[in-house]
Structure 1
Amino acid sequence: DDTIHFLTRFREEQLLVDSDDEAIRRAFTGVGTALIMTTVILVAGFSTVIFSDMRDQRIFAIMSGLTISSALFGDLVFLPALLARYAKRSQVPAMEEPEEAPDPILEQTLVRE
């Protein structure tokens, strides 16, 4: 989930600036805090299950916390490095705001012959 947020923000920043390195930096500063906070909240939530009397639930909580923490590490360390190395500028221009489509029911109501 965090990876999608980072990549989406990176794509938005890529359309605004000329350098991929600058787009990575701006994406990182834009969503970095949110990535960290959501991970902290999720790990804290799973850590409450560590005190369960049921062994399988404790193992699940530990594995979930480790997996989520590892994903954050990958998002903060490896993803920017991979983008800096392999990201290519999209040839697709930025989407323009669509024109408002006419409402056929409204037109029928307003235009009577």
Structure 2
Amino acid sequence: MTIKDVSKKFDLSQDTLRYYERIGLIPTVNRSKSGIRDYTEEDCRWVEFIKCMRISGLPIEVLIEYVTLFQQGDTTVKARKELLIEQRRHLKEKMEDMKKTLARLDHKIEGYEQIVTPKESKLKKNKK
């Protein structure tokens, strides 16, 4: 699969894919004889994983560490698991903060609805 195809499939720019490969977020992608990147299904799974983790807010540095550990083999399974557990904990904390923020926004909007809606109703009545 070409970089153009992968870019479309995962809605990431080609520059982002090249960057992810350059910094080690995606293991080195094989190239055709003409030098064009040739993404395998395994490469695409990495792209999908990294995109998901980035959307969730995991730092690039943590993901680079994870990929590096993965490439070192089975001796790093425990370290990889611990890294993911720690990131899961951070994500849960972030989600709780976001829930609180959402509740606060809902409360504020509700307050404005009580102010705005009666005024809008009066304006509509006056136009009739």
How would you bin the TM-score normalised by the shorter chain?
Answer: 0.3 to 0.5
TM-score (norm 2): 0.31
